[in-house]
Amino acid sequence: AVYDHDRDAEGDYIVMEYVAGGTLRQHLKERGGRLPVPEALALVRGIAQGLVCAHRRNLVHRDIKPGNILLCREGEETVPKIVDFGLARVGSDS
């Protein structure tokens, strides 16, 4: 979740929720670069749903990679959260 946004002397910034889990990159590294098919499918499905949500708001991430996906435990489920919108484009603007 994004809680706030503003601009300071260094530029624009956003204030986001804290996600305790690590990145998908770290998760893959811990598992030798491979995930069981059901886990991989669930993560890809969640990432795709996040991108659909962003695209409906005319926001293009432009830097999707395992290091920009945080993993959050919600009960028994691992939920991917897309982060680092620093290269994102809104509409035709960068």
Which tens digits make up the pLDDT trace of 12-29?
888 888 888 899 999 999
Condensed to tens digits (0 to 9), the pLDDT of residues 25-37 reads 999 999 999 999 9
Give residues with Cβ within 8 angstroms of 43, minimum separation 6.
24, 35, 69, 71, 78, 80
Residue type at 88 in one-letter notation: A
CA 43 – CA 81 distance, rounded (Å): 10
CA 4 – CA 85 distance, rounded (Å): 14
Give the global pTM. Answer: 0.79
Q: Cβ distance 73 to 21 under 8 Å?
A: yes
Annotated catalytic sites, by residue?
63
Q: What stretch of H or E contains 93? A: none
